[in-house]
């Protein structure tokens, strides 16, 4: 290989230029002198390390040793503080990352939803010395419970701490603390609007109102759901009675079983799309062709988290509102639901 390269370059280049060109080819041609060998060796050396001082041993660019971590943490803490309601550019106390149920807030910042009648009655006078009215400027702490709040206001005369609530309460169980009406109403509004916890919290955050936690929203959703189901069942029975009256007024006669034929439409939907027919839940409804109102509805559920957990752990199932009512295929939900609803109309 070396002799071949010599013959090629000898025709156009002199011996002096030979070793100036051959090192570019990787030093394949041996040199005839000691100085030329040293020059060839120097030309084939790897680049000095200081040219790539930012690379690590693997050849990747590493982080610089001189990083201003204090400035980065300061900016991070400021950004976390801006997300809280009690942020102040002059304060050095950064609030907690997550606001819990018993957290204390500075009432000088943020927006609250207040029931005027309840708030006026609670702030009218002190429960200890009957002097009043109480002032929010004497508020020592605020307890945040969903959209409701409890202000701890000190009486300027006797120094007693009064717990002033911003919403009325109602009993949801046999024991435990009462629930605030505003939390139940906001969850009912979410069900009516077809939105969830994330959507309502985005709206509340835009208006600078403390949002709802996951536990609060889920508890109120279960409470409101039972009431909505009772009203829906009552409404369906009323629609069926109205359809019977309309059918009789139109001259339709009942058969030997005293049943009136009523024109209706039936359909079912599943939460999971696709041709696999493997959805765990489904809902069906029967609607009147005359008025377009819902005459009856039902749901099919194949799984229950409480039951599945107890079965996996081989323990007894605790008392809960189990909605599992289907064990066959998801495709079989439709005929099963149709039979149930038409039997209910008999």
pLDDT exceeds 60 at position 68: no
pLDDT exceeds 90 at position 299: yes
**Which tops the pLDDT comparison, 231 or 62?**
231
What's the pLDDT score for residue 99?
A: 46
Bridge-based pairing of strands 139-145 and 148-154 is antiparallel
What whole-number distance in Å separates Cα of residue 158 and Cα of residue 164? 16
% residues pLDDT > 90 (the chain): 39
**Which tops the pLDDT comparison, 274 or 309?**
309
What's the pLDDT score for residue 83?
A: 55
pLDDT digits (tens, 9 = 90+) for 26-49: 344 444 445 555 554 555 544 444
**Cβ proximity of 35 and 41 under 8 Å:** no
SS3 at position 177: coil
Tokens of residue 219, six digits: 């508890």
Q: Span 316-333, mean pLDDT?
A: 90
The terminus-to-terminus CA distance of the chain in angstroms comes to: 101
Please state, rounded to an integer, the average pLDDT across all residues of the chain.
77
What whole-number distance in Å separates Cα of residue 275 and Cα of residue 265? 24
**Cβ proximity of 151 and 139 under 8 Å:** yes
What whole-number distance in Å separates Cα of residue 32 and Cα of residue 39? 12
Tokens of residue 190, six digits: 């979410």
pLDDT digits (tens, 9 = 90+) for 142-192: 888 999 999 999 998 888 999 999 999 999 888 888 999 999 999 999 999
pLDDT digits (tens, 9 = 90+) for 193-221: 999 999 999 999 999 999 999 999 999 99
Q: Tokens 């929203």: give the residue.
A: 217
What whole-number distance in Å separates Cα of residue 304 and Cα of residue 288? 32
What whole-number distance in Å separates Cα of residue 19 and Cα of residue 215? 81
pLDDT exceeds 80 at position 269: yes
What whole-number distance in Å separates Cα of residue 111 and Cα of residue 204? 9
CA angle 192, 194, 198 (to 5 degrees): 120
Please report, for residues 11, 12, 44, 89, 142, the alpha-carbon distance to residue 24 in angstroms, rounded to integers and kept in the order given. 19, 17, 8, 63, 78
What's the pLDDT score for residue 302?
A: 93
pLDDT exceeds 50 at position 254: yes
Q: Tokens 């002096």: give the residue.
A: 16
**Which tops the pLDDT comparison, 345 or 99?**
345
DSSP state of 49: G
Provide CB contacts within 8 A for 329, sequence distance 6+: 277
What whole-number distance in Å separates Cα of residue 196 and Cα of residue 190? 6
What's the pLDDT score for residue 27?
A: 40
pLDDT digits (tens, 9 = 90+) for 45-61: 444 444 444 556 666 65
Q: Span 258-270, mean pLDDT?
A: 88
What whole-number distance in Å separates Cα of residue 20 and Cα of residue 44? 12
Q: Any alpha helices (H) in the chain, and if so which ranges? A: 2-10, 15-21, 34-43, 69-82, 116-123, 181-193, 197-206, 214-249, 305-313, 333-344
Domains and CATH numbers, the chain: 111-167 (2.20.25), 175-258 (no CATH), 263-345 (no CATH)
Please report, for residues 60, 280, 286, 302, the alpha-carbon distance to residue 226 in angstroms, rounded to integers and kept in the order given. 60, 21, 21, 20
What's the pLDDT score for residue 49?
A: 46
pLDDT exceeds 60 at position 106: no
pLDDT digits (tens, 9 = 90+) for 89-102: 444 554 444 444 44
What's the pLDDT score for residue 79?
A: 60
% residues pLDDT > 70 (the chain): 68
pLDDT exceeds 80 at position 21: no
14-23, 68-77, 243-252: range with lowest mean pLDDT = 14-23
What's the pLDDT score for residue 261?
A: 87
User: How many C-beta atoms lie closer than 10 Å to residue 129's C-beta?
Assistant: 12
């Amino acid at each position: 290989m070396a002799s071949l390269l010599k013959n090629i370059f000898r025709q156009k280049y002199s011996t002096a230029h030979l070793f100036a060109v051959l090192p570019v080819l990787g030093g394949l041609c041996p040199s005839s002198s000691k100085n030329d060998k040293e020059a060839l060796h120097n030309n084939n050396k790897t680049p000095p390390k200081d040219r790539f001082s930012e690379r690590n041993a693997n050849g990747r660019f590493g982080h610089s040793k001189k990083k201003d971590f204090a400035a980065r943490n300061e900016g991070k803490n400021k950004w976390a503080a801006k997300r809280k309601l009690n942020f102040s550019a002059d304060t050095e106390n950064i609030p907690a990352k997550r606001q819990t149920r018993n957290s204390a807030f500075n009432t000088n910042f943020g927006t609250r939803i207040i029931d005027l009648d309840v708030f006026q009655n609670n702030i009218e006078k002190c429960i200890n010395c009957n002097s009043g009215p109480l002032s929010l400027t004497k508020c020592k702490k605020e307890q945040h419970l969903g959209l409701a709040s409890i202000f701890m206001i000190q009486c300027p005369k006797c120094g007693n701490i009064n717990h002033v609530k911003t919403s009325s309460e109602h009993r949801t169980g046999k024991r435990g603390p009462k629930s605030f009406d505003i939390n139940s109403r906001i969850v009912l509004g979410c069900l009516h609007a077809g939105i969830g916890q994330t959507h309502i919290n985005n709206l509340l955050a835009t208006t600078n109102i403390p949002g709802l936690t996951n536990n609060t929203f889920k508890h109120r959703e279960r409470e409101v759901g039972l009431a909505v189901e009772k009203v829906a069942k009552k409404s369906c029975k009323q629609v069926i009675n109205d359809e019977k009256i309309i059918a009789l007024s139109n001259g339709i006669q009942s058969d030997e079983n005293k049943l009136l034929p009523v024109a209706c439409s039936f359909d079912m939907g599943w939460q999971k799309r696709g041709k696999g027919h493997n959805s765990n839940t489904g809902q069906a409804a029967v609607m009147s062709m005359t008025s377009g109102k819902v005459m009856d509805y039902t749901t099919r559920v194949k799984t229950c988290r409480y039951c599945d957990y107890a079965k996996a752990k081989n323990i007894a199932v605790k008392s809960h509102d189990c909605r599992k009512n289907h064990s066959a295929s998801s495709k079989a939900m439709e005929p099963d639901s149709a039979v149930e609803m038409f039997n209910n109309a008999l």
